[in-house]
Amino acid sequence: MLRPPKSQQVAVYGFAVLAVAIALAPFAWMVISSVASPADLLKRPLHWIPDHASLSRYRAVASGSSDAAQTFGAAFVNSLVVAAVSVVISLAAGIFGAYAFARLRFRFRRSIMLLFLVTYMLPPISILIPLYLIEARLQLLDTRAGLVLVYVSFITPFVLWVMGNYFQSIPEDLEDAGRIDGLSRVGVLFRIVLPLSVPGLLSTALLGFLLAWDEFLYALIFTDTDASKTIPVAIAEFTGRHAVDFGMIATGGVLASIPPVIIALLFQRYIVGGLTAGALKG
Amino acid sequence: MVVRTVSVSRSRLAERLSNRFDRLRRAPGSLALVLLLPSLVLVFGVVLYPLVRTLLTSLHDVNSAMPGAYPFVGAHNYLELVKDAEFRSSLLRTAYFTFVTTAFELTFGILLGVLLNANFHGRAVVRAVVIIPWAVPTVVSGALWRWIFNGNYGALNAALTQTHLIGQYKQWLGTPWLALHMIMVEDVWKFTPFVALFVLAGLQTIPDELHEAGMVDGAGTVRRFFAITLPLLAPVILVTAVLRTIDGFRLFDIIYVMTRGGPASGTETAAFYTYVRAFSDQSFGLGSALAITLTAVILVVTVVYMRAIRVSEVD
């Protein structure tokens, strides 16, 4: 490779520093706000480094010593459970369908695929009202199960899409060999295809988790108490009620960001792989 | 092709299996149905009935959540929408928001993607860090930026006055037009990394030889970007544009957290307006008509894009 000229290298480093600063500064401010004392946050002129910093708000959430702290703690657990269970169910169901899309030629294959894609694009608000009434009748409102039911409906199409593309990238010869050795279609799927698909499964699971973790509108309408409220709802409610107590909002925000940020940092390659599966093949 | 060499019994078994396999290949419909059944149940079981229900509700004058017989009014709710100035302006606002943010996110995202693909020290760290805005949950980033934009204590005011760029604190979310654009800033901050990730993945499929050939031909960096990189990225860019546009037309959560549609409905998106009419006003008939209209708009926009993608692939 030819070396780029010096001026260009300076531009690259300048741009890199700028990008990092813009990406990081607001997030850093949230972390700082979560440990700053309330007086620090309301100071004019504002001090960027707080005079009094402590982890007291995090301790409050851990011990549930105030109403808000208790809600954030419960909401964190709810989000975790709902997202994890939704992903497991969606994967368990979607893997078979994805395999069918990738390997079988059948009537209406394209139409069914398109239909799944359409459900994925639907604005949630278009099914929200009847769903609310159904869940009310089934007594699923304000339960984690009620949320899982809905989340599975938008994570499963995603599994079909990403895993379908992933399965297509596995050489079919391997499967034919397995079939000759006496494996059934489903046997081939479990013994040959899935072990080769671990990276794809991982990226699908992680992205599905992020989708569920981020969901807001359904959770806002369907949940009511600490029994099922997810962390985006808890934060939005608290923001609406105590707009100036940003220290506590920031604490909830940092907690809510920990799982997705860790996932994004540690598994970036899988995330990008999952996101762009299919998009790059057109 | 698979070579069959093992014992006779084994090969006979294999033959029998492969016959069965061929039968399934010829009529795989039933197997496909079995495999697809769990997904069909989980997705359409939850989506289909409510969607039909919403469609039906939009044709009735439903004004309470109680089940009951409500008068059939045909297209009346839809005609109301056509006359509804607030709906029209919310739709226009949504289109404006979506178009402008998508344009900025694509521009910055492509630049950022190119940067992340360049060779420099510390690239791994930069790649990791710039993904953070996208990873932060939407509601959290809404709450965070609302605080940054706060008119009395916000960090933006503090930063701008301390650097003497503005004389006194400003109410960033205090007037409709300004508030709308501040929310757009938040949206661009959050989703530029998303675009950049796609662009980076697309760039990694472009062989180095193309750029080297361009260099040999004497094309400079800028020239090569427009002549080689951009055309090859076109499919990726279009797909990202579709995804961002769909999201734009569904935009609800950020608005809810940052402004609740205010001030003076100045930041009310179509999805947010639908929510207000249905849930705050309990006008479920009208709200359903709104939801169906919004869905139709998204479908039309997506189909137009899909056509464009197909055209770009043919070229």
Residues A163 and A46 in one domain: no
Instruction: Tell me the pLDDT band of B37, cut-offs 50, 70 and 90.
Output: very high
Task: Please give the interface size between A and B, counted as residue pairs whose CB atoms are below 8 Å apart.
Answer: 311
| Chain B residues within 8 A of A107 when measuring between CB atoms | 29
| Chain A residues within 8 A of B115 when measuring between CB atoms | 12, 15-16, 19
Residues B105 and B21 in one domain: no
Contacts of B72 (CB under 8 A, 6+ apart): B59, B60
Instruction: Tell me the pLDDT band of B2, cut-offs 50, 70 and 90.
Output: very low
Q: Who among B17, B161, B235 is closest to A182 (CB)?
A: B17
Residues B15 and B142 in one domain: no
- Nearest-angstrom CA–CA distance, A139 and A153: 19
Cross-chain residue pair B49–A263, CB shorter than 8 Å? no
Residues A196 and A93 in one domain: yes
Residues A50 and A78 in one domain: no
Residue B291 sits in a domain whose CATH number is: 1.10.3720.10
Residues B251 and B112 in one domain: yes
Domain assignment of residue A25, yes or no: yes
Residues A134 and A236 in one domain: yes
Residues B158 and B224 in one domain: yes
Q: Who among B42, B155, B201 is closest to A46 (CB)?
A: B155
DSSP letter for B250, please: H
Cross-chain residue pair A19–B115, CB shorter than 8 Å? yes
Residues A205 and A72 in one domain: yes
Distance from CA of A134 to the nearest CA of B (A): 9
Domain assignment of residue A16, yes or no: yes
Residue A88 sits in a domain whose CATH number is: 1.10.3720.10
CB atoms within 10 A of CB A61: 21
- The CA-atom distances, in angstroms, between A30 and each of A25, A224, A248, B141 are 9, 27, 10, 9
Cross-chain residue pair A257–B208, CB shorter than 8 Å? no
How many folded domains does chain B comprise?
2
Range of the domain at A251: 65-276
Cross-chain residue pair B299–A271, CB shorter than 8 Å? no
Domain assignment of residue A236, yes or no: yes
Range of the domain at B171: 84-314
Position B19 scores a pLDDT of 60
Domain assignment of residue A281, yes or no: no
pLDDT single digits (tens) B270-290: 999 999 998 888 888 999 999
Query: What is the SS3 assignment for A53?
Result: strand
pTM of the full structure: 0.89
Contacts of B33 (CB under 8 A, 6+ apart): A106
Q: Does B10 score more than 60 pLDDT?
A: no
In this predicted complex, what is the ipTM?
Answer: 0.91
Residues A255 and A179 in one domain: yes
Position B234 scores a pLDDT of 87
Domain assignment of residue A97, yes or no: yes
- Nearest-angstrom CA–CA distance, B134 and A23: 9
| Chain B residues within 8 A of A233 when measuring between CB atoms | 139
Contact between B101 and B187 under an 8 Å Cβ cutoff? The reply is yes
Residues B143 and B238 in one domain: yes
Q: What's the distance, CA A103 to chain centroid?
A: 28
Residues B103 and B25 in one domain: no
Cross-chain residue pair A133–B14, CB shorter than 8 Å? no
Residues A73 and A29 in one domain: no
- Nearest-angstrom CA–CA distance, A147 and A151: 6
Position A179 scores a pLDDT of 84
Which of B18, B46, B212 is most worth mutating to test chain A (most A CB atoms within 10 A of its CB)? Answer: B46
Cross-chain residue pair B202–A280, CB shorter than 8 Å? yes
| Chain A residues within 8 A of B40 when measuring between CB atoms | 97
Q: Does A271 score more than 90 pLDDT?
A: no
User: Which of A31, A54, A77 is the last residue in one of the domains?
Assistant: A54
Domain assignment of residue A28, yes or no: yes
pLDDT single digits (tens) A34-85: 999 988 888 888 888 888 888 999 999 888 888 888 999 999 999 999 999 9
Rg (CA), chain B: 27
User: Which of A35, A54, A73 is the last residue in one of the domains?
Assistant: A54
Residues A242 and A147 in one domain: yes
Position B221 scores a pLDDT of 80
Instruction: Tell me the pLDDT band of B7, cut-offs 50, 70 and 90.
Output: very low
Q: Name the residue among B161, B143, B113 with its Cα closest to residue A27.
A: B143
∠ CA A270-A274-A278, rounded to 5°: 145
Q: Which amino acid is at A148?
A: V
Contact between A180 and B15 under an 8 Å Cβ cutoff? The reply is no
Instruction: Tell me the pLDDT band of B9, cut-offs 50, 70 and 90.
Output: low
| Mean pLDDT value of segment B76-87 | 91
- Nearest-angstrom CA–CA distance, A182 and B18: 9
**Residue B129: closest C-alpha in chain A:** A20
Sole residue written with tokens 């046997």: A187
Cross-chain residue pair B250–A4, CB shorter than 8 Å? no
pLDDT single digits (tens) A104-120: 888 888 889 888 888 88
Cross-chain residue pair B287–A129, CB shorter than 8 Å? yes
- Give rounded-to-5 percent helix, strand, coil for chain A: 75, 0, 25
Residues B109 and B31 in one domain: no
Cross-chain residue pair A221–B279, CB shorter than 8 Å? yes
Domain assignment of residue A46, yes or no: yes
Contacts of A36 (CB under 8 A, 6+ apart): A50, A52, A53, A247
Cross-chain residue pair A131–B50, CB shorter than 8 Å? yes
Residues B221 and B156 in one domain: yes
Distance from CA of A175 to the nearest CA of B (A): 11
CB atoms within 10 A of CB B85: 7
Q: Exposure pattern of B212-251 as b/e (b: 16+ CB <10 Å)?
A: eebeeeebeeeebbeebbeeebebbbbbbbbbbbbbbbbb
| Chain A residues within 8 A of B39 when measuring between CB atoms | 93-94, 96-97, 116, 156-157, 159-160
Mean pLDDT of chain B: 87
Residues A31 and A108 in one domain: no
Contact between B267 and B101 under an 8 Å Cβ cutoff? The reply is no
Burial class (CB in 10 A: 0-12, 13-18, 19+), B78: middle
Is the pLDDT higher at B6 or at A164? A164
Contacts of A131 (CB under 8 A, 6+ apart): A150, A218, B46, B50
Cross-chain residue pair B2–A177, CB shorter than 8 Å? yes
Q: Does B21 score more than 60 pLDDT?
A: no
Q: Does A281 score more than 90 pLDDT?
A: no
Domain assignment of residue B54, yes or no: no
**Residue B289: closest C-alpha in chain A:** A126
Domain assignment of residue A59, yes or no: no
Residues A100 and A237 in one domain: yes
Domain assignment of residue B17, yes or no: yes
Residues B284 and B180 in one domain: yes
| Mean pLDDT value of segment B91-102 | 96
- Nearest-angstrom CA–CA distance, B286 and B77: 5
Residues A100 and A154 in one domain: yes
Residues A28 and A74 in one domain: no
Q: Does A273 score more than 80 pLDDT?
A: no
pLDDT single digits (tens) A208-258: 999 999 999 999 999 999 999 999 999 999 988 887 789 999 999 999 999
Q: Does B1 score more than 60 pLDDT?
A: no
Residue length, chain B? 315
Q: Does B312 score more than 70 pLDDT?
A: no
Q: Who among B145, B239, B252 is closest to A279 (CB)?
A: B239
Instruction: Tell me the pLDDT band of B24, cut-offs 50, 70 and 90.
Output: low
Q: Which tokens is B112 given?
A: 């950022």
Residues B101 and B27 in one domain: no
How many folded domains does chain A comprise?
2
pLDDT single digits (tens) B143-183: 999 999 999 999 999 999 999 999 899 999 999 999 999 99
Position B280 scores a pLDDT of 84
Q: At what angle do helices A56-63 and A6-35 cross, to 10 degrees?
A: 60
Position A8 scores a pLDDT of 81
- Nearest-angstrom CA–CA distance, A122 and A87: 20
- Nearest-angstrom CA–CA distance, B169 and B161: 7
**Residue B271: closest C-alpha in chain A:** A125
The strand pairing partners of A53, in sequence order, are A36
